[in-house]
Structure 1
Amino acid sequence: MNLPAGTEKPSGKSTGKSNEPETQTSQNPQLPKDILMLEDDIQRYHNRIDYDRSLTEKQRAELWLRIMRKTQELKQLKNQS
């Protein structure tokens, strides 16, 4: 069936996003990925502190602050899941 340009065959499926707010269940598939990303970030910061001997004390302190922030985010995400 050939349709003129600009018209679509109704399929009953919505291709656009709905105006409904996202529910908790629609966010759950992303949570494990977010948790893994945070864990990777924390591990990377720890490795940098342990193995990068060129870091200044200020840079080390900044990395520890990042670790603490990421750890807090990780705890919050784990509580949500």
Structure 2
Amino acid sequence: MKRVAPCETASGGWQVERRGDRLYRVLSERGVEGYIERVGPVWVTLEGSRLDRCVEVGQSLTLERATSKLLRQAEKQS
């Protein structure tokens, strides 16, 4: 079930990896940036390398927007 979708950004390459029916892991060259979880019609963006310690940073109606939220959060910390 693991599928990977690469995406190039100004800060380098990222990958969105499907981990289950409702869970995606987002990776960069630095490692795991966070997770995106589908909860009903909403995509919840979670920042952090460990799923059990992630912090919610936003909610979106599409996977693309949820990924963008995580990217913006990572750029703020750089």
Same fold at TM > 0.5 = no
* Greater helix proportion: 1
Structure 2 length as normaliser, TM-score? 0.25
Q: Which has the higher contact order (CA 8 A, sep 6+)?
A: 1
Structure 1 length as normaliser, TM-score? 0.24
Q: Which has the larger radius of gyration?
A: 1
